[in-house]
Amino acid sequence: MKAYISSLIHPFDSKAPPFIICNQLLRKQIHNIKLMDKLQKMISEKSVVIFSKNSCCMSHTIKTLFLDFGVNPTIYELDEINRGKEIEQALAQLGCSPTVPVVFIGGQLVGGANQVMSLHLNRSLVPMLKRVGALWL
């Protein structure tokens, strides 16, 4: 706990009066809450959401898998969009490791490339996509 609090305070000037540090911490927390709300909205608006980077070969593989199924996922390229780095950090806070590719189906975290490929190989991915209306056949 002490390390967590220390990590929150670290970027701030420790010589500043306590109320200024509290103010800075509060602003940081509000920013994090707004970012998590934005992330939740991005995830929940579409049936399949992929967070990706153009430079990541596994991201390309996962996107191709879904497109080959005939699924039209919403893809956020974190190396191209505004606040992509912040969104990547928010994904890490949700427990996504590695942070790309990350797939959400029906608003639920499926995971990265390993989890998606495991679902595909054990024939669970297609029924999951059908359940959320991302695949009709």
Query: What's the pLDDT at 71?
Result: 97
Domains and CATH numbers, the chain: 17-131 (3.40.30.10)
Average pLDDT by stretches of 10, the chain with 137 residues: 48 55 58 81 94 96 97 96 90 87 96 97 97 90
Tell me the sheet residues that pair with 122. none
Q: Using DSSP bridges, classify how beta strands 48-52 and 102-105 pair: parallel, antiparallel or unpaired.
A: antiparallel
94 half-sphere exposure, CB direction, 13 A CA radius? 26
Residue 31 CB neighbours (<10 A): 11
Query: What's the pLDDT at 16?
Result: 57
Query: What's the pLDDT at 4?
Result: 45
Maximum separation of any 2 CA atoms in the chain, in Å: 63
Query: What's the pLDDT at 14?
Result: 56
Query: What's the pLDDT at 94?
Result: 84
Gap between the Cα atoms of 78 and 101, Å rounded: 10
Terminal Cα distance for the chain, rounded: 50
Nearest CA to 71 among 109, 26, 94, 105? 105
Query: What's the pLDDT at 1?
Result: 43
DSSP for residue 73: -
Helices (H), the chain: 2-9, 18-44, 57-69, 84-93, 113-121, 125-131
Gap between the Cα atoms of 11 and 82, Å rounded: 23
Rounded to two decimals, what is the model's pTM? 0.78
